Amino acid sequence: MDAQRIDTIVETHDLPTYRRQQLLHAFFTENCATFDDVTTLSKSLRTSIDLPAMTVRKRRLLVSNEGNAFKALVELDDGKLIETVLLEPKPGLWSCCISSQVGCLMKCSFCATGRLGFTRHLTSEEITDQVLFWRQYIRAEGLEANLRNVVYMGMGEPFHNKDAVFASLRELTNPETFNIGARSISVSTSGLVPAIEEFTDQFPQINLAVSLHAATDELRQHLMPVNKPYPLEKLRAAMDYYVDNTNRKLFIEYIMLDGENDQPAHAEKLVQYIRGMARPHLAHVNLIVYNPTDAGHRESPRAIARAFMAILKDNGLSATIRKNLGRDINGACGQLALKGQV
Ligand code: SAH
Ligand code: SF4
């Protein structure tokens, strides 16, 4: 459901303008899930609409032991499956983590989605429907939640599906539909340089996270094949472009992999790399605890991660270790792989 679908219905059924407003209200304020739920429409009109309201349908839903992470396996119109996640990282702060592709082409060695390979791009509506899906879930379960934060950190590389992702960002910030503040939306990329620049030009208020994970080309290339076409120096220029044009903080994601990228020498390289940015004080490093996948890496011990963070901070950089939610339901970063569910 998006503004375009409502416009199609209004045109096909030759409805007056107030019907359009009723439909917008029903789906984007009341969180109705089907046309049948829209009681402001007459019964005959409701049944005459032969389009489904949603492009995603629930196949299975898991709730974490702590009750603060929810993962749904949802089916698309062509039967393909994706996962989408709802998180409550702090009491009362709700966020959903949405997918942009079925699978992913980027083949990062540590990521379960990357191991699936790429199947297809999602449409803009399939992307934004994941947000509606969670709003409907919140309503149906009677949860005390106001879902106003969206992160593009589910399955897929958002900038590989740039057109649909950009359209979905316009829809999420559209005052007529989702009306979500640009500053409450974050897009994470493995580093597709040209798209970072386009994104900056078009969405300067939306948060950007760059998945770095290593600060030397050799190591990064080993972990992330995307480093070959877009090596670190080019990536840094794109990050500078974002920071220069937006004056906003840029998030750098760095997974801690035991013995691979977590040693003091790696931290020093990261410091050097970030200091080479035009405005290093606007970079914030999120150290991510590695979530187990079948990929063969191991998570860094806590003490090693803390020592790594201390080196960054001693050098004047801003850094935090990101809390992991949803590991028990394989709903944490990089674990989305439709495991055992299909
Ligand atoms: N494709 C985009 C966004 C989705 S991945 C990207 O790569 O940025 C979201 C985040 O999860 C990225 O920072 C990614 O590197 C990280 N990630 C992938 N696999 C992970 C794993 N096994 N453990 C922890 N984080 C992981
Ligand atoms: Fe794709 Fe991101 Fe996973 Fe890399 S980390 S394979 S870019 S989803």
- Domains of the chain in start order, with CATH, are 1-52 (1.10.150), 54-329 (3.20.20.70)
Partners of 171 in the β-ladder? none
Partners of 188 in the β-ladder? 209
Mean of the pLDDT values across residues 223-246?
Answer: 98
Residues 6+ apart with CB under 8 A from 48: 13
Lowest mean pLDDT among 89-93, 268-272, 304-308: 89-93
Give catalytic residue positions.
83, 333
Ligand 2 atom with the shortest distance to the CA of 114: 6
Any idea which ligand is nearest the CA of 114?
2
Q: Which helix (DSSP H) or strand (DSSP E) does residue 219 occupy?
A: helix 217-223
Ligand 1 pocket mutation, candidates 187, 210, 211, 330, criterion most atoms within 8 A of CB: 211
Residue 218: pLDDT above 80? Answer: yes
Mean of the pLDDT values across residues 140-158?
Answer: 93
Residue 295 — very low, low, confident or very high, per pLDDT cuts 50/70/90? confident
Output phi, psi for 23, to 5 deg. Answer: -65, -45
Mean of the pLDDT values across residues 249-271?
Answer: 97
Lowest mean pLDDT among 101-105, 194-198, 263-267, 325-329: 325-329
Cα angle, residue 187 at apex, residues 252 and 166 outer, rounded to 5°: 145
Ligand 2 pocket mutation, candidates 121, 190, 210, 253, criterion most atoms within 8 A of CB: 190
Any idea which ligand is nearest the CA of 113?
2
Give the residue from 197, 210, 186 showing the smallest Cα distance to 238: 197
Cα separation, 83 vs 330, whole angstroms: 10
Lowest mean pLDDT among 20-24, 66-70, 135-139, 282-286: 66-70
Measured from the Cβ of residue 40, the count of other Cβ atoms closer than 10 Å reads 15
Q: At what angle do helices 302-314 and 264-275 cross, to 10 degrees?
A: 30
Cα separation, 332 vs 335, whole angstroms: 6
Query: Could you give the maximum distance between any two Cα atoms of the chain, in Å?
Result: 69
What was the pLDDT predicted at 89?
85
d(CA 293, ligand 1 centre) in Å = 12
Is the C-beta atom of 103 inside 6 A of ligand 2?
no
Output phi, psi for 292, to 5 deg. Answer: -55, 135
Mean of the pLDDT values across residues 153-179?
Answer: 97
Cα separation, 15 vs 36, whole angstroms: 17
Residue 329: pLDDT above 90? Answer: no
- Joined together, the tokens standing for residue 154 give 């589910």
Q: Which helix (DSSP H) or strand (DSSP E) does residue 82 occupy?
A: strand 81-90
What was the pLDDT predicted at 342?
43
Residue 177: pLDDT above 70? Answer: yes
Output phi, psi for 207, to 5 deg. Answer: -70, 145
Is the C-beta atom of 291 inside 6 A of ligand 1?
yes
Mean of the pLDDT values across residues 138-150?
Answer: 91
d(CA 37, ligand 2 centre) in Å = 37
pLDDT tens digits for range 54-81: 999 999 999 988 888 999 999 999 999 9
Output phi, psi for 337, to 5 deg. Answer: -150, 20
What was the pLDDT predicted at 228?
98
**Sheet order of strands, 250-256 included:** 57-63, 69-75, 81-90, 93-97, 147-152, 185-189, 207-211, 250-256, 283-289, 318-322
What was the pLDDT predicted at 340?
52
What was the pLDDT predicted at 144?
84
Cα angle, residue 93 at apex, residues 87 and 96 outer, rounded to 5°: 35
Residues 6+ apart with CB under 8 A from 26: 32, 37, 38, 40, 41
Mean of the pLDDT values across residues 184-203?
Answer: 98
Mean of the pLDDT values across residues 22-30?
Answer: 96
Any idea which ligand is nearest the CA of 118?
2
Cα separation, 279 vs 124, whole angstroms: 33
Mean of the pLDDT values across residues 34-63?
Answer: 92
Mean of the per-residue pLDDT values for the chain? Answer: 94
Ligand 2 atom with the shortest distance to the CA of 104: 1
d(CA 316, ligand 2 centre) in Å = 29
Residue 294: pLDDT above 90? Answer: no
% of residues, the chain, pLDDT over 90: 83
